[in-house]
Amino acid sequence: MVWHNCKTDPPKKDGEYILCYRFRGELDWDRAMYEGNEWIDEDTCISYGVPGWSYEELLPYKWAEVDLSEVE
């Protein structure tokens, strides 16, 4: 698994990824959708880092794609 910078190396296609984000100086991670140049938590409809949302402090930091096609 390779981690990519959200600002300098965003995903090239929409889809589901692992997202590491900053919240009040701490790092955390979650599963997130990347759609239309935005990171969205599909379960709670959070748009990470979008001003005007109550979750604007959740700043996208790194992302990774996990390929589970070879897992049985």
Q: Does residue 72 lie within any of the structural domains?
A: no
pLDDT for the residue 56? 64
Q: What is the pTM of this model?
A: 0.80
Per-residue pLDDT at 54: 60
**69 inside domain:** no
Structure tokens, 24: 């009040």
Residue 37 falls within a domain, yes or no?
yes
Note whether residue 71 is domain-resident: no
| Per-residue pLDDT, 52 | 62
Domain hosting residue 32, numbered range: 3-64
Q: Number of structural domains, the chain?
A: 1
The residue with tokens 């600002």 is: 7
Instruction: Examine residue 20 and state whether it is found in any structural domain, yes or no.
Output: yes
Residues 69 and 31: their CA atoms lie apart, in Å, by: 17
Amino acid 63: pLDDT: 96
Residue-by-residue pLDDT tens, the chain, 72 positions: 899 999 999 999 999 999 999 988 899 999 999 998 999 987 766 788 776 666 667 899 999 998 777 776
Domain presence at residue 38: yes
Q: What is the dihedral of CA 13, 68, 45, 27, to 10 degrees?
A: -100
Is 16 within a domain?
yes
